[in-house]
């Protein structure tokens, strides 16, 4: 493990010039958006995980900007992905819940007329590619190639039942564009190999690129390669096997991100590429994932279910080792990418551009009403549950059947002391704003 750790450090920590140094190219920047699956807020060494070694991701934070209050748009996969790609609340584009291959267990349908960031960037001169987990539809028109991605190599479905066979319910959803393929190997390695192939083929191209890389890891089943698990168990013999598997899966993911960073540096693409690293929701507690001190985990509207580790790296543009407490969400990436690419932001979206924050300029992002949603079957009965926030006041449910709780996140960041909001004017206003959002979303078909 020490050899692997040293290799990554050697390949990604060298050669960062000082802020303000000019680059050779004057073209618009490339954009690489890395979305991982179910990564807990406390499951990186840079986020305080004492049993983790994640030097590649740590370096994105140490040489870039960390958002300490960055949120997924939902507690689960599909809604968050819909928000990232459309810049809208997921229930406003027909994805309030998880899209699945079984119709009776499907809780979303991406609107045909929804506008994807890849479409906007492609129309404005960007090469667009998506590698990895799609999870927004299994047939046309809800396919990556129909939503602006010129290249798609990845997995159309939700979770993989096995990282090595890449099946879901016995069905192979691996595709190269719309052609079924059957690659061999661990999914994390495969997606990285395809990403490196794309970068090597593109580094001399005249057009900038937008690459959306969506890993399945570290979503369960927790299946790290055996040698990675062995290294963790040798290093930490007192760790439980469940925890060790999760550590190994994340460290294997980090190693592969290190491979990508190495290629970006070797090709010179790092000189003009904005890199974003984030997650679609919090870590799943039953699989020994950690959200640090935050309460709850995946499927919860508590902070542990929706606040996610997020870093922006843009060489010579973003101040290294900087942080911002500004409140941001996945849906804010759409307008941010538009402004980075010098494109007018469509008026139909709900997100806001974070470009001023990236460039170290004053920006207030906390004076807006924010909403979270998840609709689901099983013990949720096909109903939706919500959270909303304005300023430091947050209201939430974790199932549709429990009373709404309220918290003051400024004075109670770990949500241990519910408020009694009966006579709070701000609470009544937030409840009304959420009600109004639900009313608007009720007009959007999702089946």
| pLDDT (tens digit per residue) in 366-398 | 999 999 999 999 889 999 999 999 999 999 999
Answer for the pair 212, 129: CB distance below 8 angstroms, yes or no.
Answer: yes
Q: Tell me how long the chain is.
A: 447
Whole-number pLDDT of residue 27: 85
Which tens digit of pLDDT belongs to each residue from 217-237?
Answer: 999 999 999 999 999 999 999
Residue 156 CA, distance from chain mean position? 17
In tens, the pLDDT along 40-49 reads: 999 999 999 9
Q: Residue 7: is its pLDDT beyond 60? A: no
The CA-based angle 191-195-197, given to 5 degrees, is: 120
Look at residues 225, 277, 211 and name the one whose alpha carbon lies nearest to residue 34. Answer: 277
pLDDT score of 5 more than 80: no
- What are the Cα distances from residue 324, in Å, to 68, 70, 162, 292, 368? 6, 10, 38, 19, 17
Cα torsion 345, 351, 355, 357 to 10°: value is 160
DSSP character at residue 349: -
Coil, helix or strand at residue 82:
helix
Q: Which percentage of the chain shows pLDDT scores above 90?
A: 91
Tell me what pLDDT residue 235 has.
96
pLDDT in tens, 249-281: 999 999 999 999 999 999 999 999 999 999 999
Residue 10's pLDDT is 37
Backbone angles phi, psi at 437, to 5 degrees: -65, -45
C-alpha span between 407 and 391 (Å, rounded): 11
CATH number of 28-364: 3.40.720.10
pLDDT in tens, 53-92: 999 999 999 999 999 999 999 999 999 999 999 999 999 9
Q: What is the pLDDT of residues 104-147, one digit of tens each?
A: 999 999 999 999 999 999 999 999 999 999 999 999 999 999 99
Residues 366 and 388: their CA atoms lie apart, in Å, by 13
Which residue, 308, 271, 371, is CA-closest to 68?
A: 308
Q: How far apart (Å, rounded) are the C-alpha atoms in residues 146 and 154?
A: 15
DSSP three-state, residue 323 = strand
Q: Residue 205: what pLDDT?
A: 83
Does domain 371-441 correspond to CATH entry 3.30.1120?
Answer: yes
Per-residue CA distances from 281 to 176, 235, 369, 389 (Å): 27, 29, 20, 17
Chain-centroid distance of CA 139 in Å reads: 23
Pair 105, 112: CB distance under 8 Å: no
pLDDT confidence of residue 94: 98
Q: What are the domain boundaries of the chain?
A: 28-364, 371-441
* Cβ 416 vs Cβ 295: under 8 Å: yes
CA distance linking residue 276 with residue 314, whole number of Å: 9
Residue 22 has pLDDT above 70, yes or no: no
Is residue 85 within 8 Å of 334, Cβ to Cβ?
yes
Q: Which runs of E-coded beta strand occur in 244-309?
A: 273-279
The pLDDT, as a whole number, for residue 423 is: 77
Query: Sorting pLDDT into bands at 50, 70 and 90, what band is 21?
Result: very low
How do residues 195-225 score in pLDDT, each as one tens digit? Answer: 999 999 988 888 999 999 999 999 999 999 9
- Average pLDDT on 415-420 reads 96
Identify the band that residue 24 occupies on the pLDDT scale cut at 50, 70 and 90.
very low
**How does the average pLDDT of the chain come out, rounded?**
93
Give the CA count within 13 Å in the CB-facing half-sphere of 352.
16
Which is higher by pLDDT, 306 or 6? 306
Contact 242, 287 (CB under 8 A): yes
């Amino acid at each position: 493990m020490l050899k692997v750790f040293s290799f990554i450090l050697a390949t990604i920590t060298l050669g960062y010039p000082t802020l303000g140094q000019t680059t050779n190219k004057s073209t618009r920047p490339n954009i690489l958006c890395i979305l991982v699956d179910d990564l807990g807020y406390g499951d990186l060494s840079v986020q305080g995980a004492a049993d983790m070694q994640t030097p590649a991701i740590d370096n994105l934070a140490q040489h870039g900007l960390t958002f300490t209050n960055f949120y997924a748009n939902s507690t689960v996969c599909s809604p968050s992905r819909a928000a990232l790609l459309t810049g809208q609340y997921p229930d406003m584009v027909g994805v309030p819940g998880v899209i699945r291959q079984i119709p009776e267990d499907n809780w979303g349908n991406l609107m045909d007329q929804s506008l994807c960031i890849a479409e906007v960037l492609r129309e404005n001169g960007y090469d667009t590619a998506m590698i990895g987990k799609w999870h927004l539809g299994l047939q046309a028109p809800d396919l990556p190639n129909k939503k602006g991605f010129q290249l798609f190599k990845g997995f159309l479905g939700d979770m993989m039942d096995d990282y090595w066979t890449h099946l879901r319910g016995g069905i192979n959803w691996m595709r190269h564009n719309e052609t079924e393929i059957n690659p061999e190997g661990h999914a994390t390695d495969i997606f990285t190999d395809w990403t490196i192939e794309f970068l090597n083929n593109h580094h001399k191209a005249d057009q900038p690129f937008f690459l959306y890389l969506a890993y399945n890891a570290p979503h369960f089943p927790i299946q790290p390669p055996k040698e990675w698990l062995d290294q963790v168990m040798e290093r930490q013999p007192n760790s439980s096997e469940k925890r060790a598997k999760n550590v190994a899966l994340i460290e294997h993911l980090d190693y592969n991100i290190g491979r990508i960073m190495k290629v970006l540096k070797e090709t010179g693409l790092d000189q003009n590429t904005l890199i974003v690293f984030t997650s679609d929701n919090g870590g799943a507690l039953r699989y020994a994932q950690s959200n640090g001190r935050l309460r709850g985990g995946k499927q919860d509207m508590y902070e542990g279910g929706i606040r996610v580790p997020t870093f922006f790296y843009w060489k010579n543009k973003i101040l290294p080792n900087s942080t911002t407490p500004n409140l941001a969400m996945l849906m804010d990436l759409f307008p941010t990418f538009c402004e980075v690419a010098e494109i007018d932001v469509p008026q139909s979206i709900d997100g806001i551009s974070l470009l001023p924050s990236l460039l170290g300029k004053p920006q207030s992002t906390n004076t807006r009403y924010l909403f979270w949603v998840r609709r689901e079957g099983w013990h949720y009965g096909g109903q939706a549950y919500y959270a909303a926030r304005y300023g430091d006041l947050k209201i939430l449910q974790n199932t549709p059947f429990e009373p709404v709780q309220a918290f003051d996140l400024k004075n109670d960041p770990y949500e241990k002391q519910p408020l009694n909001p009966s006579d709070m004017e701000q609470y009544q206003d937030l409840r009304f704003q959420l009600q109004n959002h639900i009313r608007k979303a009720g007009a959007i078909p999702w089946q």
